[in-house]
A and B are shown apart, each in its own frame.
Chain A
Protein backbone atom coordinates (compact mmCIF):
# COMPACT_ATOMS: atom_id res chain seq x y z
CA UNK A 1 0.00 0.00 0.00
CA UNK A 2 0.85 3.66 -0.14
CA UNK A 3 2.09 5.69 2.80
CA UNK A 4 0.55 8.91 4.02
CA UNK A 5 2.14 10.59 7.03
CA UNK A 6 0.78 13.30 9.29
CA UNK A 7 2.59 15.51 11.73
CA UNK A 8 2.17 16.12 14.56
CA UNK A 9 0.30 13.12 15.97
CA UNK A 10 -1.06 15.22 18.78
CA UNK A 11 -0.93 18.87 19.77
CA UNK A 12 -2.20 20.99 22.63
CA UNK A 13 -2.58 24.71 22.06
CA UNK A 14 -4.04 27.70 23.85
CA UNK A 15 -7.25 29.37 22.75
CA UNK A 16 -6.64 32.02 20.17
CA UNK A 17 -3.45 30.54 18.75
CA UNK A 18 -3.00 28.84 15.38
CA UNK A 19 -1.90 25.29 14.72
CA UNK A 20 -0.50 23.81 11.52
CA UNK A 21 -0.92 20.14 10.61
CA UNK A 22 1.10 18.57 7.81
CA UNK A 23 0.06 15.72 5.54
CA UNK A 24 2.67 14.10 3.33
CA UNK A 25 2.48 11.39 0.71
CA UNK A 26 5.76 9.58 1.20
CA UNK A 27 5.96 7.27 -1.79
CA UNK A 28 3.66 8.81 -4.37
CA UNK A 29 2.57 12.15 -5.72
CA UNK A 30 -0.88 13.47 -4.92
CA UNK A 31 -2.48 16.30 -6.83
CA UNK A 32 -5.44 16.03 -4.49
CA UNK A 33 -5.61 15.36 -0.78
CA UNK A 34 -8.59 15.29 1.55
CA UNK A 35 -9.00 16.55 5.10
CA UNK A 36 -11.45 14.93 7.51
CA UNK A 37 -12.50 15.71 11.05
CA UNK A 38 -13.68 13.17 13.58
CA UNK A 39 -15.30 14.06 16.89
CA UNK A 40 -15.28 11.51 19.74
CA UNK A 41 -17.42 8.46 19.05
CA UNK A 42 -18.46 9.85 15.68
CA UNK A 43 -17.66 9.12 12.08
CA UNK A 44 -15.28 10.92 9.75
CA UNK A 45 -16.65 14.02 8.07
CA UNK A 46 -14.99 15.52 5.02
CA UNK A 47 -13.91 19.10 5.60
CA UNK A 48 -12.19 20.04 2.36
CA UNK A 49 -10.43 18.88 -0.77
CA UNK A 50 -6.89 20.16 -1.13
CA UNK A 51 -5.76 20.78 -4.71
CA UNK A 52 -2.10 21.18 -5.65
CA UNK A 53 -1.43 24.62 -7.04
CA UNK A 54 -4.95 25.92 -6.61
CA UNK A 55 -7.50 26.80 -3.96
CA UNK A 56 -9.01 24.19 -1.71
CA UNK A 57 -12.65 23.25 -2.00
CA UNK A 58 -14.53 23.36 1.28
CA UNK A 59 -17.59 21.36 2.26
CA UNK A 60 -20.73 23.17 3.25
CA UNK A 61 -20.52 24.56 6.76
CA UNK A 62 -16.72 24.53 6.99
CA UNK A 63 -15.21 27.99 7.48
CA UNK A 64 -12.46 28.48 4.94
CA UNK A 65 -10.96 31.42 6.84
CA UNK A 66 -10.66 29.32 9.96
CA UNK A 67 -9.27 26.18 8.34
CA UNK A 68 -6.59 27.33 5.93
CA UNK A 69 -5.37 24.72 3.47
CA UNK A 70 -2.23 24.97 1.40
CA UNK A 71 -1.13 22.34 -1.12
CA UNK A 72 2.15 23.76 -2.30
CA UNK A 73 3.72 20.59 -3.67
CA UNK A 74 2.69 17.20 -4.99
CA UNK A 75 3.59 15.54 -1.69
CA UNK A 76 2.52 18.03 0.97
CA UNK A 77 -0.74 19.57 2.10
CA UNK A 78 -1.10 21.62 5.27
CA UNK A 79 -4.13 22.45 7.37
CA UNK A 80 -3.88 25.48 9.65
CA UNK A 81 -6.50 25.93 12.33
CA UNK A 82 -6.51 29.67 12.96
CA UNK A 83 -7.58 31.32 16.20
CA UNK A 84 -8.36 27.94 17.67
CA UNK A 85 -11.12 27.53 20.25
CA UNK A 86 -12.01 24.58 22.48
CA UNK A 87 -14.78 23.54 20.08
CA UNK A 88 -12.09 22.97 17.42
CA UNK A 89 -10.65 20.18 19.54
CA UNK A 90 -10.97 17.07 17.40
CA UNK A 91 -9.14 14.37 15.48
CA UNK A 92 -8.01 15.56 12.04
CA UNK A 93 -7.11 12.99 9.36
CA UNK A 94 -5.89 13.43 5.82
CA UNK A 95 -6.09 11.03 2.90
CA UNK A 96 -4.86 10.69 -0.65
CA UNK A 97 -5.20 8.34 -3.59
CA UNK A 98 -1.98 6.95 -5.08
CA UNK A 99 -3.61 6.98 -8.51
CA UNK A 100 -1.65 4.73 -10.81
CA UNK A 101 -1.09 2.23 -7.99
CA UNK A 102 -4.76 1.56 -7.51
CA UNK A 103 -8.11 3.10 -6.62
CA UNK A 104 -7.87 2.88 -2.83
CA UNK A 105 -7.63 5.88 -0.54
CA UNK A 106 -4.92 5.80 2.12
CA UNK A 107 -5.02 7.75 5.35
CA UNK A 108 -2.51 9.44 7.59
CA UNK A 109 -2.31 8.44 11.23
CA UNK A 110 -4.29 11.47 12.29
CA UNK A 111 -3.65 14.48 14.52
CA UNK A 112 -5.40 14.88 17.84
CA UNK A 113 -5.87 18.59 18.55
CA UNK A 114 -6.76 19.80 22.02
CA UNK A 115 -7.43 23.50 22.52
CA UNK A 116 -7.28 24.68 26.13
Chain B
Protein backbone atom coordinates (compact mmCIF):
# COMPACT_ATOMS: atom_id res chain seq x y z
CA UNK B 1 0.00 0.00 0.00
CA UNK B 2 0.88 3.65 -0.16
CA UNK B 3 3.41 5.04 2.32
CA UNK B 4 3.09 8.56 3.74
CA UNK B 5 5.97 10.29 5.51
CA UNK B 6 5.86 13.63 7.28
CA UNK B 7 8.59 15.94 8.45
CA UNK B 8 9.62 17.33 10.79
CA UNK B 9 8.16 15.17 13.57
CA UNK B 10 8.26 18.06 16.04
CA UNK B 11 8.41 21.80 15.64
CA UNK B 12 8.56 24.61 18.17
CA UNK B 13 7.88 28.14 16.99
CA UNK B 14 7.79 31.54 18.53
CA UNK B 15 4.48 33.26 17.96
CA UNK B 16 4.57 35.20 14.70
CA UNK B 17 7.05 32.90 12.98
CA UNK B 18 6.43 31.04 9.73
CA UNK B 19 6.80 27.31 9.12
CA UNK B 20 6.68 24.68 6.41
CA UNK B 21 5.53 21.11 6.97
CA UNK B 22 6.27 18.45 4.42
CA UNK B 23 4.45 15.29 3.33
CA UNK B 24 5.99 12.73 0.98
CA UNK B 25 3.95 9.89 -0.50
CA UNK B 26 5.14 6.76 -2.26
CA UNK B 27 2.69 6.51 -5.13
CA UNK B 28 0.52 8.72 -7.26
CA UNK B 29 -2.63 9.87 -5.50
CA UNK B 30 -5.90 11.46 -6.49
CA UNK B 31 -6.81 12.51 -2.98
CA UNK B 32 -4.54 14.18 -0.47
CA UNK B 33 -5.78 16.01 2.59
CA UNK B 34 -4.22 18.01 5.41
CA UNK B 35 -5.75 17.96 8.88
CA UNK B 36 -5.15 19.69 12.17
CA UNK B 37 -5.87 17.61 15.27
CA UNK B 38 -6.74 19.86 18.17
CA UNK B 39 -5.97 19.05 21.83
CA UNK B 40 -9.37 17.35 22.21
CA UNK B 41 -8.65 14.99 19.34
CA UNK B 42 -10.95 16.50 16.75
CA UNK B 43 -9.61 16.37 13.20
CA UNK B 44 -10.17 19.66 11.43
CA UNK B 45 -10.09 19.63 7.64
CA UNK B 46 -7.53 22.11 6.35
CA UNK B 47 -7.10 21.34 2.66
CA UNK B 48 -8.12 18.85 0.04
CA UNK B 49 -5.22 19.23 -2.38
CA UNK B 50 -4.30 16.38 -4.74
CA UNK B 51 -2.40 18.91 -6.86
CA UNK B 52 -1.78 22.63 -7.17
CA UNK B 53 -1.87 25.36 -4.56
CA UNK B 54 -4.60 26.57 -2.22
CA UNK B 55 -4.72 29.26 0.40
CA UNK B 56 -6.98 29.82 3.37
CA UNK B 57 -6.06 32.79 5.51
CA UNK B 58 -2.66 32.26 7.09
CA UNK B 59 -2.46 28.71 5.79
CA UNK B 60 -1.60 27.56 2.32
CA UNK B 61 -0.73 24.23 0.76
CA UNK B 62 1.00 23.07 -2.37
CA UNK B 63 1.07 19.57 -3.82
CA UNK B 64 3.45 18.59 -6.61
CA UNK B 65 1.86 15.33 -7.65
CA UNK B 66 4.54 14.41 -10.19
CA UNK B 67 7.20 14.60 -7.46
CA UNK B 68 4.95 13.04 -4.80
CA UNK B 69 5.09 15.63 -2.09
CA UNK B 70 2.91 18.23 -0.47
CA UNK B 71 3.78 21.24 1.66
CA UNK B 72 1.72 23.04 4.28
CA UNK B 73 2.72 26.63 5.03
CA UNK B 74 1.74 28.37 8.23
CA UNK B 75 2.45 32.08 8.34
CA UNK B 76 2.41 34.41 11.34
CA UNK B 77 1.82 31.47 13.66
CA UNK B 78 -0.44 31.82 16.69
CA UNK B 79 -0.67 29.77 19.87
CA UNK B 80 -3.98 28.39 18.64
CA UNK B 81 -2.12 26.76 15.75
CA UNK B 82 -0.57 24.32 18.21
CA UNK B 83 -1.50 20.68 17.79
CA UNK B 84 -0.75 17.84 15.45
CA UNK B 85 -0.83 18.24 11.68
CA UNK B 86 -1.51 15.18 9.57
CA UNK B 87 -1.48 14.60 5.87
CA UNK B 88 -3.38 11.65 4.47
CA UNK B 89 -3.40 10.09 1.03
CA UNK B 90 -6.10 7.90 -0.40
CA UNK B 91 -5.46 4.39 -1.65
CA UNK B 92 -7.85 1.84 -3.10
CA UNK B 93 -11.28 1.55 -1.55
CA UNK B 94 -11.33 5.22 -0.49
CA UNK B 95 -9.05 4.38 2.43
CA UNK B 96 -7.02 7.25 3.81
CA UNK B 97 -3.46 6.45 4.87
CA UNK B 98 -2.10 8.89 7.42
CA UNK B 99 1.41 10.07 7.98
CA UNK B 100 2.89 10.04 11.47
CA UNK B 101 2.09 13.71 11.94
CA UNK B 102 3.99 16.85 12.89
CA UNK B 103 3.58 18.08 16.47
CA UNK B 104 3.59 21.86 16.43
CA UNK B 105 3.99 24.01 19.53
CA UNK B 106 3.70 27.75 19.21
CA UNK B 107 5.04 29.71 22.17
CA UNK B 108 3.81 33.17 23.13
Contact = CB atoms under 8 A, between A and B. Distances in A.
Contacts of A112: 41
Interface in A61-83: none
Contact of B41 (A49, A93, A102): A93
- B interface: dominant SS: strand
User: What class of interface size applies to chain A in its complex with B?
Assistant: 20 to 34
A20 to B, nearest CB: 19
Contacts of B97: 46
A63 to B, nearest CB: 19
Contacts, number: 50
Interface residues of B, number: 20
A107 B48 contact: no
Interface of A: 1, 32, 34, 38, 42-46, 49, 57, 91, 93, 95, 97, 102-107, 109-110, 112
Given A44-B98, A107-B35, A110-B41, 18 more contacts: A1-B45, A34-B94, A34-B95, A34-B96, A38-B41, A43-B98, A43-B99, A44-B86, A46-B95, A46-B96, A49-B94, A91-B41, A104-B45, A104-B48, A105-B88, A109-B40, A109-B41, A110-B40
